[in-house]
Structures are given as C-alpha cells and as structure tokens.
Chains A and B, each alone.
Chain A
Amino acid sequence: MNFWSRPRMRAMGLTLRGATFLVAGLIAFEPALAADVIRVVSPYQTTTLDPMRSAAAGNIETYGQLYSRLVRRNSETGVLEPGLAETWEVSGDGKTYTFHLRDAQFSDGSPITAADVAFSLERIRGDKKSAYPAPLSSVESVTAADPKTVVVQLKSAFAPFLGNAEIWNMGIVSKADVEKRGEEAAFATVPVTSGPYEVKQWKPNEKLVLEPNPHYWRKGYPKSDATVELIEIASPETRIAMLKAGEIDVVRAVPWAQIDDLKTVETIDMRLEPSTTIYMTLLNHKREPFSNLQARQAAGMAIDNEAMAKAITRGYAEPANTTLPGSVDFHDKDYPGIPYDPAKAKELLAESGMAGHEVKILATADAPSQQTALLIQAQWQAIGLKPVIVNVDGGAWWDATGKGDYDAAANWWYNETPDPDLAVRWAVCGTCGSNSYNTFYANPKVDALVEEGTKEVDQAKRAEIYKEIQKITTDEVAQVPLYYAPNAVAYAKRLEGLKLTPSLQWTLEETTIGQ
C-alpha cells in the first residue's frame, strides 16, 4: 500500500526546479556600487545633529561634515588655518581675540554673520545642555562688534584658545533658523549647515545621507559632487564583509585581527593612521584596594603593557609610557614608564596590606575590552589580588564608573587637539569636573599645575609643566597606561584624498573618486 504516487514526486521536482530558477534570477542582479556615492561605515551612531548637544563618538564624526568653525586644521600639515574667520588679531596681553569673518553663507543661502558666531559659541559655553563647554572655559564673553567682526574676551591669557576654537563642537549654526524653528526642530531632520555638506536624509539608527552644500565657503569643495552616506553597522564581521563585497568604501575601527588579511586584498587600502588615542585602565581611587598608593603601584608593575599591546593589537600599537596620549604636544617620550616587575609588585602589594583583596574589573562586550580584562585579571591574580570580571554594556559602564562602583575598568579616550590642556583636564584633574575620568584621583599639586599650564604662554615652560604632570600622575599610577593605538581604517582604493584625522574628522570634502 503506498499513498505517495509518482506524479506527486514529479510535481515536487518541478517546484524545486522553479526554486532554482528563482535563485538564479536573483543572482543575476549585480550589486552595482553607484559611482556617485561614498559610503563610510562606522560602529558609532549619529544621535543628534546639534553640535552643542553631544560629545559621543559618532556625532563627532558627523559634526565636521555639517558645520564650519572659525579656524580649520590643514588635513595634510595639521596647521591651523583660516576657517570662517579670514584673519584675526590677538591683543598684547593675550586676552582679546578679534576675528574678521569672510563672506560666507549657510546652506540656505543666508549670510554667516558675527551674530551667528557669537550665538553659536555662547550656546556651547553657557547653555546648560551643552555637552562639552570645557574648551571655552577660559572665555569671558563672545560679542559681535559689527556684522563681520567677532570679539572674544578671555578671563586670562589662554595659550591653547585658537586650537580649542577648532574642536568638533565649535561649529557655527544659524541663529535665525534656531530661533525660528526652535532648538529641537532646527536640528531634528534637516538643519541649516555651514560646512561642506548638508543633510539629504537622516534615518536615525541606520544612516545619514549627505550632499554637497552649494553655498560652502571653500569654493571648489567638496571636490566630488558625490553623495555621502555615513552608515552605522554594529557588527565588525559585517563591516568587513561589506567592504570586501564592494558594497561600501570605508570602514572605521577595523578589528586588529583582520588587518593582516585586509592588507592582502587588492582593492583595499588598509591604513593605520596617527591618532591621539590612549588605551588605559581606570583605577578607582575612592575605595580599597586602589585608594592605596602602594596597591596601585603594584597593580601597575604587575602589567606587562608591551606584551599586552602585542597580544591585543598584534603589535600595531605602541606601549604607553605616561598617562597622556603619545601624540599630544609635550608628551614626555623619555619618561621610562611604569616598569614591569611582578616580583616587586608582589612585595609592594603585601606591604600595602591589600593582598587577597577582591577587585571588580568592568568590561564591555567588544573584543579589545574583553581581552584586556582577561589579561589584567591573570596578571593581577599572579601578584595576589582577587580580580573578578563584571560584564556590562555601555550604559551600565558609565553608571558604575560615574558612581565609583568599580575597582578597575579598561577603556580608551582621545584628545581632540594636539594641545594637552584638555587632556590633563579630562584624565588627571580633580577640580575640572571630570573626577579625573571617574577615577576620583585628586592631587592638589597636579590641579595647580593644570591651571598653570593653561596660563603659561612660554612654550618651554609649558613643556616643563606637562612633563611634571606626567611624572607625578604616572608615578602615583592615577591610571594604568596600556598602549597608544593608531586608527585602523580600511579604504576602497578608488577613493583619493580621504582620511580620518587624529581629531576624528573625515576629510570628505577633499576626496575624489578615481577609477
């Protein structure tokens, strides 16, 4: 007895053959990469288009494309050049900066005036919701003397002011538009921009589509009239697969393990670009064991950061020797760093009375963070601490470090200018509002040196001050410096002139599409 007659099988065969045809038909569609779109992929999201509102990684990349600043940094030489300000004068006492604006227009064709500049800078400086007012903390007032002249009055002479006026959140926005549409609405979809690009479409959580701003003040820029898509892709494997399949042109944050492989791909230019990024481990000075100086020194000596750089970045990063990024001005190249000496570390820890103490290491899900946490755990275990790894996501990480509910946490940060003023304020200053990057390290001597460094105009004397800060904070192990990592970025070879600057800005306006 058989229910399953032959014709049924034949019918099934036909269906299968139909399916095969369908698949073959689908394959016939070639994934053609349109010649006039530059696709840049980053794991970091754009969450707001208001340059004042965020200092988060993805937004930093975006702001530079949308808003021009008073001065700009030459993408080749790194030298400060005129931006929206054509010329400027500094008064003899170094306290008054007078900027003369060029004839420039916003993306809606309206002129960029001194009133817009004063409005934009005062927002960054004074608005409660401003994410990063620190670069303008020395400013007393910003006023429009006439439609083409902006006067910035400083509280005291401040050596790095010009450089700070170039930072990513210093973009000039349209006063008239913000007042007309309201602060939220003006930046919600298509803002009026002053930079090389304007927004064509923003699909939050997916991508930001930009097109050249026809009113951009740098005539002839952007060099290519291509549309730009800033795409957000969380998975590193997916980013690399997309690049290899030719679906995108640029990948930010290439995993260390993939670099050698990408270097062998003919159509891809795998580059390690200079950065001001430092990877380090935060130590919580608020509670035991790391409120104890000897315990911190032991923790520092237990870590072989040369081996760690080799293991995690496959040798693409340099071991760090001080608490500051290796490429900021006045970085002390000759400082010997914290020596790797596990025997001495064991002794110090025993002396400190903290041996056997539990240490809570925070780790996020990304590969470098997991690897760092594991390696540190092993090395601290070896000297007699009891480290446990606690896995958290970004939100919980900030919550725990902000409250001081942790003992150690590996992370990275970068400095937005070559000048070290903002770096020391962020990482090792107890009175600058950052709690020394949530480590709660506070040394009055260092805090005083930070202020001195700000006011000193003599370069040699500044160098001495920052050398001293690095020496004290590294000796006291404010944080454990791990390594200085370059930006690992992969580019499609058809692009020319594109790079990610150390300030994390894409030079898209200078990019052309070759063959």
Chain B
Amino acid sequence: MSLLQLIARRLLQLIGVLAGISLVTFLLVHMAPGDPARLLAGERASAETIAAIRSQYGLDLPLWRQFLTYLVNLLSGDIGQSLRFQRPVSQLIEQFMWPTLFLTVYVICLAIPPTVALAILGARRPGGIADQIIRLVGIAGLTIPVFWLGIMMSRFFGVSLGWFPVSGYGTGFTGHLHHLFLPAMSTAIWLVPVLTQSLRAALIEKTTADFVTAARAQGATERQIFWQTMLPNAVLPTLNLLGVMVAFMIGGAVIVETVYAVPGLGTLMVNALLGRDYYVVQGLTLVFAVSTVLITLLVDLLTAFIDPRVRF
C-alpha cells in the first residue's frame, strides 16, 4: 500500500471517529444533570427566566432535534456558538489553542534529549549503578502527582526564588518560553521516565539482534553500528509511545494548565464542562479526536521514513 492510500484510509477512519465521538459527547453532556441557562443567569433567576433563556437557545427542543441541528451545522463546517459567551466555538478554540500547542512542543523539546541520554546511559550496562539510579529516580518522577509537583515547583522556583512566573502564557516567543517553563518541566518529569524505560528496553533488546551481529561481521565500526543500525531500530516503539503521549497532552493538559493558570484548551474544557457549555465541550472533543488521529498518522509516516521495511 502506498503512502497516499495510508492517508486516504486514515481520513476515512477520521470521519467514522468524528461521527461516533460527536454522538457520544452530545448525549453525555446533555444527559448530565445541570442546566446551562441556570448557570448563566445565576441563582436568583426565576423559573420563568430560565425557561425563556432555554427557549431562546433552543434547549427546550427534543434532544433528537437539537442533535440534528448540530449535525447539519457541523456538516456545513459550523461547530456552533458558545452558550455562555455568545461567540463562535471555533473562535474560542483558536484563542486557547496556542498555549496548549506551545506547551506540547516545549515538553517534547525538554523531554527528548534527556530521554535519549538516560536510555543510552542505562542500557550501557543494564543492572549497573547508573541504570539502577536512573530507574529509581524515574519511578519517583512517575509517581509524584503532577498537581503536587506543580504546586511545589511554583512555590519554590516561582515564589521563593522568583526565577519563573507561576502563571500565564506571557507575550512573545521568549515570554512564552519563560512562562511555560515550569508547566513544561512538571510534565516532562513524568514523561521522561516513561519514554526512557521504553527506549532502554528496546536498546538492550537490539544489542543481541541478528542484524547487529551481521553488521559487525561486515566490519562496521561500533559507532556506525550504534547510530545506523541499533538506534533507528530501537527508537520505533518509543516513537509510537511518544505519539500517544502527545495526543494525551493536547487533550489532557488539564491539571498542569489549572495549576499554572495557562489559558489553554485544558482550562477551557474544565470551565466549559462546569458551565455546561455544550457546544464548547463538543467542539473541543472533536478537536482532541482530530488531533489524535493526525498525530497517529504523523507517527506512522515517521515510522515509514525511519524504517523502510514498514509497509502499510
């Protein structure tokens, strides 16, 4: 199968995924107790006021008619209006998307170099002192809850030392780098151990692989064997894992964004859920689904690029 076929198949998959996701989220958010009109108008509003708001926004219609309207709009490319802010959902998502994307890329940049370094260090002498220390520190990094680590780091590096801001997104590229450093670090601290373990295991496994012996028999230097034979082969499973993690971060940066008050998709999602802002929740879910599919596609393409044997 060619590359084009792969892409075409993924896009077809995407349509199915989106249809399923929109139906499920629609039902979930609408059937959860709670009324957006009440949360909008506040506690003192009377039942008549609530009814008037519900009818203005079409919330009093039968559920299937609301879903139909939503679907028709969706097909014409309109993902709806925010019930709370009377703005297009797409505009809100666009506003909150950049901090999350920046943070994700930042985390990847912070996580990959130490991952590679530590995995190599550990795999060099499996079970050796370096390997044991890396594993122990890694387990610590994995098990510390992100919110606790976040609060501690913002107290220490932000409040006590004053090195980094404890909130926000900043302005300009260096401003973003500065403001998002602590959130990115907090995320990288659990991400690095996950990736390191995967890469280390793959490296050790490949040490005894037939193709390594073959390469050595052909007279390749150890340096060539490592960089051209072992690492490319070992990196594939970790790449897949990274893909999953990145998709997870785009959709699930909720905790770290809340702790550091980063105006990203995670905070938007939490508040939309609390405010029963139905169309924002649905729009975000769609965005997360699309980004997951796209990232998986990207990982597959990269895999094909690194390992020409991989065929789809």
Binding site for B on A (CB under 8 A): 1-5, 8, 12, 15-16, 19, 23, 26-27, 29, 31, 45, 47-48, 53-57, 59, 128-134, 184, 188, 203-206, 233-235, 237-238, 241-242, 244-245, 247, 392-396, 398-400, 402, 413, 426, 433-434
* Cross-chain pairs A/B with CB under 8 angstroms, 18 sampled: A5-B223, A31-B162, A53-B40, A55-B41, A129-B41, A204-B87, A205-B92, A234-B270, A235-B259, A238-B166, A241-B158, A242-B166, A245-B154, A245-B162, A245-B165, A395-B274, A402-B38, A426-B44
In the complex, the answer to whether A31 meets B96 with C-beta atoms within 8 Å is no
In the complex, the answer to whether A204 meets B117 with C-beta atoms within 8 Å is no
Chain A min CB distance to B167 (Å): 5
Chain B min CB distance to A437 (Å): 8
Tally of B interface residues using CB under 8 Å: 69
Partner of B95, one of A203, A399, A433: A203
* Residues of B with C-beta under 8 A to A398: 34-35, 38-39, 43
Whether A27 touches B164, Cβ cut-off 8 Å, given contacts A48-B40, A242-B261, is: yes
Whether A47 touches B40, Cβ cut-off 8 Å, given contacts A12-B117, A245-B162, A247-B168, is: yes
The 8 closest A-B pairs by CB, nearest first: A395-B34, A55-B42, A56-B42, A128-B52, A204-B85, A55-B44, A399-B33, A131-B41
Whether A132 touches B168, Cβ cut-off 8 Å, given contacts A395-B35, A399-B35, is: no
Residue of A nearest to B117 (CB): A12
Partner of B87, one of A53, A134, A188, A245: A188
Chain A min CB distance to B166 (Å): 4
B46 at the interface (CB under 8 A from A): yes
Partner of A393, one of B34, B40, B120, B174: B34
In the complex, the answer to whether A433 meets B158 with C-beta atoms within 8 Å is no
In the complex, the answer to whether A184 meets B44 with C-beta atoms within 8 Å is no
Q: What's the Cα separation between A19 and B192 when bound, in Å?
A: 15
B146 at the interface (CB under 8 A from A): no
B5 at the interface (CB under 8 A from A): no
Q: What's the Cα separation between A234 and B255 when bound, in Å?
A: 11
Residue of B nearest to A18 (CB): B113
Q: What's the Cα separation between A396 and B24 when bound, in Å?
A: 20
In the complex, the answer to whether B43 meets A413 with C-beta atoms within 8 Å is yes
In the complex, the answer to whether B258 meets A234 with C-beta atoms within 8 Å is yes
Count of A-B contacts with CB under 8 A?
184
Residue of B nearest to A432 (CB): B46
In the complex, the answer to whether A395 meets B32 with C-beta atoms within 8 Å is yes
In the complex, the answer to whether B85 meets A205 with C-beta atoms within 8 Å is yes
In the complex, the answer to whether B271 meets A45 with C-beta atoms within 8 Å is yes
In the complex, the answer to whether B261 meets A238 with C-beta atoms within 8 Å is yes
* Residues of A with C-beta under 8 A to B207: 3
* Residues of B with C-beta under 8 A to A238: 154, 166-167, 258-261
Chain B min CB distance to A267 (Å): 12
From B84, B155, B225, name the one whose CB has the most chain A CB atoms within 10 angstroms: B84
Q: What's the Cα separation between A506 and B271 when bound, in Å?
A: 24
Residue of B nearest to A50 (CB): B86
Chain B min CB distance to A394 (Å): 6
B48 at the interface (CB under 8 A from A): yes
- Per-residue interface assignment for chain B, residues 160 to 189, with 1 indicating a CB less than 8 Å from any chain A CB and 0 otherwise: 001111111000001101100100000000
In the complex, the answer to whether B87 meets A241 with C-beta atoms within 8 Å is no
In the complex, the answer to whether B117 meets A131 with C-beta atoms within 8 Å is no
Chain B min CB distance to A204 (Å): 4
Chain B min CB distance to A302 (Å): 27
Partner of B154, one of A3, A16, A31, A241: A241
In the complex, the answer to whether A47 meets B261 with C-beta atoms within 8 Å is no
* Residues of A with C-beta under 8 A to B17: none
* Residues of A with C-beta under 8 A to B73: none
Partner of B53, one of A23, A129, A245, A399: A129
